[in-house]
Amino acid sequence: MSDFDRNYASPFGRAAGRVDTAAVDAGLRSYMLKIYNYMSIGLAITGLAALGIYMAAVTGDASGAAARIGNAYLTPFGYAMFVSPLKWVFMLAPLAMVFAISFGINRLKPATAQMLFWAFSALMGISMSSIFLVYTHTSIVRVFFITAASFGALSLYGYTTKRDMTGMGSFLLMGLFGIIIASLVNIFIASSALQFVVSVIGVLVFAGLTAWDTQRLKNDYIYGYASQGGDIAERAAITGALSLYLNFINLFTLLLQLLGQRD
């Protein structure tokens, strides 16, 4: 780690500096591994929740179905989840959870923050369960693995690159707000061309955010959390996992819009 050298800061010279650097490197690896573990567990919860809701929502019995969407017959539970106004509750609940975790993280115990993250992951899965009604299951699996490979490569780049990506942050966040505004506008005009443009730009923005967030988390540990540890580092790991999780989910949904095969 060439950008972090304590050799000359140590009163014991280079030997002590090498020990300090090795300790920070080991701590950094442990910290980043914890972030990726939290993120992976969150994604697993999301996938299981989405699949579970979908399986409970559809039926092969057309005579007992409460409604039909495309080729799928919905149970009364499926009607409540995908047709009734209740669907808006589950669509907006993850957004409320993100704000609760992000703005309240410093007041939460790590165990509480962790449980909120798991709950958020489950709510996100519930809100995403409708993709199984729209896209073929084969294309969902294919796009998931494409997303996983892309995310892994981008995150690895952000972790290993010597290039300072700090300046990209403001540009990427501006792009993110632009995507949100365009998506809201498209709810009312329902333009397929605008949706395509938003999806393409969105993939580029979240690809950049994945690399940028990874480097930011690495630098946050080196310059902020290395000597603190405890609850501070634990809460930072949870919010870091949330950031990378959101990048992954958004990459997946945008790539699914571009590459997914509709059922």
Residue 2 lies in a domain: no
Residue 71, pLDDT score: 80
Query: What are the residues facing 59 on neighbouring strands?
Result: 73
Mean pLDDT of 209-233: 83
pLDDT of residue 12 exceeding 80, the answer is: no
pLDDT confidence band for 14 (50 / 70 / 90): very low
Residue 181 lies in a domain: yes
Q: What is the pLDDT of residues 213-224, one digit of tens each?
A: 999 999 988 887
Number of C-beta neighbours around residue 55 at 10 A: 13
Residue 7 lies in a domain: no
pLDDT of residue 132 exceeding 80, the answer is: yes
- Residue with the bigger pLDDT between 227 and 54: it is 54
pLDDT of residue 109 exceeding 60, the answer is: yes
What is the SS3 assignment for 211?
helix
Residue 208 lies in a domain: yes
Sheet holding 67-69, edge to edge: 58-59, 72-74, 67-69
Q: Which of 59-73, 140-154, 245-259 has the lowest mean pLDDT?
A: 59-73
| Spatial distance between the Cα atoms of 252 and 121, rounded to a whole number of angstroms | 15
How long a stretch of residues is the chain? 263
- Residue with the bigger pLDDT between 140 and 85: it is 140
Q: Which amino acid is at 57?
A: A
pLDDT confidence band for 6 (50 / 70 / 90): very low
Residue 123, pLDDT score: 94
Domains in the chain: how many in total? 1
Beta-carbon contacts of 195 under 8 Å, excluding residues fewer than 6 positions away, are 186, 257
Domain boundaries, position 160 = 14-259
Residue 3 lies in a domain: no
Residue 131 lies in a domain: yes
Helices (H) and strands (E) in the chain, counts: 9, 3
| Residues 73 and 62 sit within 8 Å (Cβ to Cβ) | yes
Q: What is the pLDDT of residues 49-82, one digit of tens each?
A: 999 999 999 988 777 777 888 788 898 998 888 8
Residue 87 lies in a domain: yes
Residue 8 lies in a domain: no
pTM of the full structure: 0.86
